[in-house]
Structure 1
Amino acid sequence: MTTTTGGGTPGTDPGLDDVFSNTVRLRLCAYLSGCEEADFQAVQDYCGLTQPTLSKNVTVLADRGYVAVAKVASGRYTRTRLRLTDDGRVALDGHVAALQAIVGQARAQHDA
């Protein structure tokens, strides 16, 4: 499936974002969409991932500008906090809306 984040071209689905074709990144952003920010460990536990796998996917999302990463001093330790950015929220909402439209069109086709 070819994906875009804009008006689309023939053969593409406008609104779908290829970064969310990876279910880990979709799940991660969905989790972050429900809170202001989250501790890296909480996201890791929720997603059921190893630290390296989560870190790799967070890097992809951060490079895209969808997730902000902050290091926060917490006693003797530094904690990593994750936050879905405004761009990330718009992209996630657009992706979900595009998926809903695809399902709606398919159901309408069967009802016709």
Structure 2
Amino acid sequence: MSEPALDDTFSSAVRLRICAYLSGCEEADFKAVQEFCDLTQPNLSKNLTVLAERGYVDIRKVASGRYTKTRLRLTATGQGALQSHVAALQDIVTTARTRQPAG
């Protein structure tokens, strides 16, 4: 297994938050993610496009009565990238704490 590494995709706090939310559920409605992340529809869409292009998020449309809903799911690739990024952040914090001079 490789060392955990920071992922530039998550340099955006918005994309990190989206993936963190999706990591806690099997699938989520676009509107639920939008509300949780406190984003406008265009801002969420733009960030989801980036995540989908990297293979981190699966976006699908489902019929719901007369309407279509957008459903979002964190892919296995996205889950792995998120876990690696969080582990790398934790390594940075741990290293900083253990290398601080005493006193």
Please give the range of the TM-score, normalised by the shorter of the 2 chains: over 0.9
TM-score under structure 1 normalisation? Answer: 0.87
Determine if the alignment matches structure 1 residue 65 to structure 2 residue 63: no
- TM-score normalised per structure 2: 0.94
Match of 2:78 among 85, 88, 93: 88
Amino acid in the other structure paired with 1:52: P
Cα distance in 1 for partners of 2:89, 2:39 equals: 25
Q: Which runs of 5+ in 2 are unaligned?
A: none
Poorly superposed stretches of 4+, deviation over 6 Å: none
Identity of aligned residues (%): 69
- Match of 2:50, as an amino acid? V
Structure 1: which 5+ runs fail to align?
1-5, 8-13
**Alignment deviations for residues 48-86 of structure 1 (CA, whole Å, 9 cap, x no partner):** 000000000000000000000010000000000000000
Deviates more, 1:47-56 or 1:102-111: 102-111
Work out the number of aligned pairs and report it: 101
